[in-house]
Structure 1
Amino acid sequence: MTSRLLFGVLLVILVLLAALSLWLNQPARTLSPTQDNGSRRTPDYVVENFSAIRMGNEGIARHTLIAKRMVHYPDDDTTDVENPHFIDTEPGKPPVQVTADQAKMSANGEDIYLTGNVTVLRNAGKGRAETTMTTSLLHLMPDDDIAKTDKPVVITETNAVIKAVGMEMNNRTNVTRLLSQVKVVHDNARKPL
């Protein structure tokens, strides 16, 4: 009798395990077209607390990206990045660091759109003092060493604060163009570089 009871209990356990495994293997319920408003996107991978380095042709690190979280979407090959810290290093030039709350990267990282508390820091070097720029939106084109925005910007240098709407910065030529409504507050006392 105990062997029949033991066999019955084992049979019930096996049936429960089989039912549980079938239930776990079922795909997640998808929304019907009437329930899905098109705003849902499914990422194919998520990476947290990472750093990525893009090397130049000469084998030297050119671009570094450090971030809290990255989510990639295969439907349009875009990537959303949380708390990005982008560092551009070019031999013979001071590094340029860019931070923001969020970023959206196109396929292959050719275009990066940074939003929320965007700060660009060009380190001091070759007779130039450190320069900081803040804005709410910045479009980076890392391969061309260009950053631009059509939003208000504030540029802070050793002896000046510059405010403008719209900016284009070329890190290769060290030329920054301010597009409109430019206002400069200059400290008359020259400070050494």
Structure 2
Amino acid sequence: MSATSSTPLAPPPGPARRREAPPLLWRLQNLVGTYLPLLILALLAAFTWWLVKSTPLPEDGSAQRVLRHEPDYQMQGFELQRFKPDGTLALQVRGREMRHYPDTDTLEIDGIELRALGKDGTLTVAQARQALSNADASEIRLQGDVLVRRYAQAQPENLPAQLEISGEFLQLNPPRELMSSHLPVTLRTGQGSFSVQSFEYDNLSGQLQFHGRSTASYLPRRKRP
């Protein structure tokens, strides 16, 4: 299958024998379109809060220095936590190493893991070999073994996530509420999986677009005896 599609996508008419269930693409897009808004907002809220707390303040003094692409601020083996008023954990950010580069005013985080607990009790977990962000967090990139998972309320993490996104690259744009990847990505839900060459999700418009050659698989529900 090679096409570009966006939600909402109504199931096309078909023979009577196919009316028992909507087409696979429509089902997967409907599930992804339901979970992605919650996932992307949790992820963006987690990262932007952490970025504000972690970005070093500018040094005093008016003397201008020639800046080279060398870190002026580093943290190793760090863990930051944010708690709710009742004392329960709301956000956790871990990283093997974080570096700030003054010439580009960017942050690089190796071995990053984000855990954000939503108001409804859902859990979003994101991890990657490296995360890069500009100074105001208007552009965030996760790259290398990217894995984003969303769990239902009170769902154990050893069970399959409601939604899982995996690939080598994921780009976030918080001001525009966009999530995209120009590299292949696999999206998995409890009912199937969808592998695409690239995708774009616009949270403001609710549009989810898949590009390039795509493959999908769907697990039908078991009929009760």
Q: Same fold (TM over 0.5)?
A: yes
| Structure 2 equivalent of residue 177 of structure 1 | 208
Q: 1:85 to 1:146 in 2, by over 3 A?
A: farther
- For residues 161 and 104 of structure 1, do their structure 2 counterparts lie closer, same or farther at Cα, with a shift above 3 Å needed? same
The equivalent residue for 2:75 is: 47
SS at match of 2:136: helix
User: Could you say which structure has the greater relative contact order, defined with CA pairs below 8 angstroms and 6 or more residues apart?
Assistant: 2
- 1:16-165 equivalences under 5 Å are 41-52=69-80, 64-92=92-120, 94-125=122-153, 130-142=162-174, 146-165=178-197
Deviations 1:152-172 (A, max 9, x none): 111122220111122234678
Partner of residue 21, structure 2: none
SS at match of 1:87: strand
> Take 1:145 and 1:123, find their aligned partners in 2: how far apart are those partners?
21
Change (3 A) 1:169 1:51: farther
- Amino-acid identity (%): 23
Q: What is the Cα deviation at residue 50 of structure 1?
A: 1.2
Q: Is the 8 A contact 2:116 2:123 kept in 1?
A: yes
AA aligned to 1:165 is Q
CA drift of 1:91 comes to: 2.1
Deviation at 1:41, TM superposition (A): 2.0
Distance 1:172 1:124 in 2: 23
Q: Which residue of 2 aligns with 1:12?
A: none
Alignment-mate amino acid for residue 44 of structure 1: D
TM-score by length of 2: 0.54
Residue identity in the other structure for 1:78: T
Amino acid of the residue matched to residue 108 of structure 1?
D
157-166 vs 88-97, which moves further: 88-97
Query: Structure 2: which 5+ residue stretches go unaligned?
Result: 1-67, 155-160
State the secondary structure of the residue aligned to 2:152. Answer: coil
For these two proteins, the number of residue pairs brought into alignment is 150
Deviation string, structure 1 residues 26-82 (Cα, Å, up to 9, x no partner): xxxxxxxxxxxxxx62211110111335799xxx98764311100101111101110
Kindly name which structure, 1 or 2, has the bigger radius of gyration based on alpha carbons: 1
Larger deviation, residues 159-168 vs 67-76: 159-168
Which digits, 9 at most, give the CA deviation of each residue in 1:97-137, with x for residues without a partner? 211111111103332111111011011249xx611111111
SS at match of 2:71: coil
Task: Say what the alpha-carbon RMSD is for the aligned residues.
Answer: 3.7
Letter in 1 for 2:195: K
SS at match of 1:76: coil
Contact 1:168 1:177 in 2 (8 A): yes
TM-score, L = length of structure 1: 0.62
Question: Which stretches in structure 1 are left out of the alignment for 5+ residues?
Answer: 1-39
